[in-house]
């Protein structure tokens, strides 16, 4: 599967981070509201989420009210390996990730977590999401402060007891390292390539689920280039 992704990337100017066989897409899950809500001070905050191909993660959060920026990138490894062609080899510590900036007065961190677990990623899949396989497609949450860490830990424990999935949750809470923005062609990929087969099959349904399941948080317009 990684070989296929590399061949596709090398053979097209519209190369992508995400490719794979046509398997069944995961269904959205109506995760419950967090019992441990985030207590965040005024002012913009940042958060990092990894959940498979970053096109879809960025696409979903770019439609969430209160999110003011969403940047696709790499997290977990070093600067030298923070490049797409190296990442997709599967030989780095990076995960395809999205760094978002949000206003907690509009959307709290616990609400972002609920959206993530409901429509962004299947938390029971180890080192894969959808058709994409490898540690760089792992499901991970990267808290940026102690409050986010506490909320994330509590919410994963809450979901574990809720029994929403048949398999155990494997989403990791990872310590923050440097976040490296991905190459320009990965940014705003969903809005730039709405007819891409991958986007239509895997990512557009996630945005549709966001609209249906979280109408209060859904924003119809796509947040392009952080504004």
pLDDT, tens digit, 9 for 90 and up, residues 194-220: 999 999 999 999 999 999 999 999 999
Would 27 be classed as within a structural domain? no
Predicted confidence band of residue 224 (pLDDT cuts 50, 70, 90)? confident
Whether 130 is in a domain gets the answer yes
Is there a domain that residue 175 lies in? yes
CATH number, domain with residue 64: 3.30.1060.10
What Å distances lie between residue 76 and 48, 120, 141, 180, 214, CA to CA? 11, 20, 11, 9, 30
HEC string of 49-99 equals EEECCHHHHHHHHCCECCEEEEEEEEECCCHHHCCHHHHCCCCCCCEEEEE
221 assigned to some structural domain: no
If one counts the domains in the chain, the total is 1
Active site (catalytic) residues: 53
Query: Beta partners for 98?
Result: 49, 72
pTM reported for the whole predicted model: 0.90
**168 inside domain:** yes
Q: Give residue-wise pLDDT tens across range 52-66.
A: 999 999 999 999 999
- Contact by Cβ (8 Å): 164, 26: no
**Cα 184 from Cα 126, distance rounded (Å):** 28
Of the candidate ranges 11-25, 41-55, 138-152, 179-193, the one whose mean pLDDT is the lowest: 11-25
Residue 97 lies in a domain: yes
Give the helix ranges, DSSP H, for the chain: 2-10, 54-61, 84-87, 109-115, 146-162, 189-192, 197-198, 204-213
Domain contains 25: no
3-class secondary-structure state, position 81 = helix
**Domain range enclosing 155:** 2-8+42-213
Spatial separation of the C-alpha atoms in residues 116 and 138, rounded to whole Å: 13
User: What are the Cα distances from residue 4, in Å, to 1, 7, 15, 16?
Assistant: 5, 5, 12, 11
Q: What is the per-residue pLDDT across 104-147, written as a single tens digit (0 to 9) for each?
A: 999 999 999 999 999 999 999 999 999 999 999 999 999 999 99
How many whole angstroms separate alpha carbon 227 and alpha carbon 214?
21
E strands present in 114-169: 128-129, 132-133, 139-142
Q: Is the pLDDT of residue 184 over 60?
A: yes
User: Given CA atoms 26, 101, 222, 198 in this order, what sign does their dihedral have?
Assistant: negative
């Amino acid at each position: 599967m990684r070989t296929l992704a590399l061949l596709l990337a090398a053979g097209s100017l519209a190369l992508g981070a995400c490719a794979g066989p046509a398997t069944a897409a995961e269904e959205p899950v109506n995760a419950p509201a967090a019992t441990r809500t985030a207590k965040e001070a005024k002012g913009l905050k940042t958060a990092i989420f990894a959940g498979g191909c970053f096109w879809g993660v960025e696409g979903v959060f770019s439609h969430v009210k209160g999110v003011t920026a969403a940047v696709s990138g790499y997290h977990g490894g070093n600067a030298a390996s923070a490049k797409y062609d190296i990442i997709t080899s599967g030989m780095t510590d990076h995960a395809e990730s999205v760094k978002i900036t949000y206003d907690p007065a509009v959307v709290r961190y616990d609400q972002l977590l609920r959206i993530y677990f409901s429509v962004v990623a299947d938390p029971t899949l180890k080192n894969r999401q959808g058709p994409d396989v490898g540690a760089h497609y792992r499901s991970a949450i990267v808290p940026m402060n102690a409050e986010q860490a506490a909320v994330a830990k509590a919410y994963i424990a809450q979901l574990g007891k809720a029994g929403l999935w048949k398999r155990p949750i494997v989403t990791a809470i990872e310590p923050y390292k440097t976040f490296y923005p991905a190459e320009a062609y990965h940014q705003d990929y969903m809005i730039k390539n709405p007819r891409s087969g991958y986007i239509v099959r895997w990512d557009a349904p996630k945005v549709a689920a966001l609209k249906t399941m979280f109408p209060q948080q859904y924003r119809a317009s796509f947040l392009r280039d952080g504004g």
